[in-house]
Structure 1
Amino acid sequence: MDRDAVMTWVDRYERAWRASDAGAVERLFTEDATYLRSPYDDEPLHGHDAIRGFWTADEGATFTVSAEPVAVEGDSAVVRLEVRYTGSEEQEYRDLWLLRFAADGRVAHFEEWAYWPGKPYTAAAE
């Protein structure tokens, strides 16, 4: 993988997410892909059906995304994103995606590290 290939995948992911195109899951992820919604996800999603079910929970949302690769080495990449949901409930967050690609260009492992403004970022009590 190189930076251009990674960003092409991210663009395809964004377009599918925006369109609520659950059928794109097969084009983006390997059949046995693992999808962690958080680095502490006790029950990661496994396979197309589980990922598709998670995607459809966000149908109809409007948002903007900006993304840039942080690191690409071999079959692995880290991408930094900023997502802003618009509409009745505005929300933003910054995110890191850890991606491991299969030889066919689909993702075999997806791990998300999202942070929201105003949320604690230390173990200390507020």
Structure 2
Amino acid sequence: MDELSIGRWADAYARAWEQADADAVVELFTPDASYRSLIFDEPHLGRDAIRAYWGRATASQSDVRVWLGNPLVDGNRAALEWWTVLKEEKGEVTLPGCLLLEFEAGRCARLNEYWHLEHTAVYPYEGWGRIAEGDTQATKAGAARWISAWKKGWEALDPDPIVAVYEPDALHRSAPLRHPEAGGIAGYLDRCFPDERNVRSRFGVWAASGAHALTVYTATLNDASEGGEVTIAGCDMLRFSDKGLCAEQRDYWNLSLGRLPDGHAWPA
């Protein structure tokens, strides 16, 4: 799959959502496709299950507007950021997220997604969804260092290894509906690490092309700010500089109470 083909698929997906057309959306998937609408849930398997899910999900939605980021394409994989503003019975809702897509013969065979929700209308910020050109091999190397530094630093609650793989002026958004973190990555870690204990994590590089990589992660930890034991699963759209350091991070994640079994929320 190339960027043009992915772009056409994405446009059809957005149009089907805006028109609440479940029949149109299932045509974008293979007959036995896996569609995981929440990373902690079991996937919807096959076109009939996907059609039923879409019918339920869109039944109460109206005035749906979908924005799409530039796709990050790596072989048969593509990461696609999306941002939706719609109306439900209680008012306007904003849903930004990221799709992890795997294709077979032009149709999606596997979809995993991470998303956030806000009960008001919020529109995409300047620079959201952009993908830059760059040296793919250097990006892959930078992403490998990034996931290693995050695992080491997070589990030890030591910010130094993590800060070392970022540019000094790197732009860090810990969620799409938050402003860039004051103080960058160092400010974010200084704010979060005091509340966290007993971290166990897993990271991977899911796709890379040009200056961008999409990494995925899961972590179980005790987080005082969330009331105790939690599992976090997410993905990060990362832009790397020519020096192989992270220059921009856009984080999408979901959280579940309790420590879930290893691999439960891993994209597959």
**More moved, 1-10 vs 81-90:** 81-90
Structure (1 or 2) with the larger CA radius of gyration: 2
Deviation string 1:19-69 (CA, Å, 9 cap, x unpaired) is 22222244200000000012222x210001100001111135221111113
Aligned length: 122
SS in 2 for 1:98: strand
User: After the TM superposition, which residues 1-126 of structure 1 pair with which residues of structure 2 at under 5 Å, given as runs?
Assistant: 1-41=1-41, 43-57=42-56, 58-59=58-59, 60-86=61-87, 88=89, 89-103=91-105, 105-117=106-118, 123-125=223-225
Amino acid at match of 1:106: R
SS in 2 for 1:109: strand
Distance in 2 (CA, whole Å) between partners of 1:56 and 1:7 is 24
CA RMSD, Structure 1 to Structure 2 (Å): 2.1
* CA drift at 1:124: 4.0
Distance in 2 (CA, whole Å) between partners of 1:73 and 1:5 is 13
Structure 2: tracts of 5 or more residues without a match: 120-174, 176-191, 193-222, 227-268
TM-score scaled by length of structure 1: 0.85
* CA drift at 1:116: 2.4
Structure number with the bigger relative contact order (C-alpha 8 A, sep ≥ 6) is: 1
Distance in 1 (CA, whole Å) between partners of 2:2 and 2:224 is 39
* CA drift at 1:100: 0.3
Structure 1: tracts of 5 or more residues without a match: none
Distance in 2 (CA, whole Å) between partners of 1:82 and 1:27 is 22
Distance in 1 (CA, whole Å) between partners of 2:38 and 2:83 is 16
SS in 2 for 1:20: coil
Residue 76 to residue 54, structure 1, CA distance change in 2 (3 Å): same
Q: Is the 8 A contact 2:18 2:66 kept in 1?
A: no
Distance in 2 (CA, whole Å) between partners of 1:31 and 1:13 is 16
Q: Is the 8 A contact 2:3 2:71 kept in 1?
A: no
Distance in 2 (CA, whole Å) between partners of 1:116 and 1:55 is 18
SS in 1 for 2:5: helix
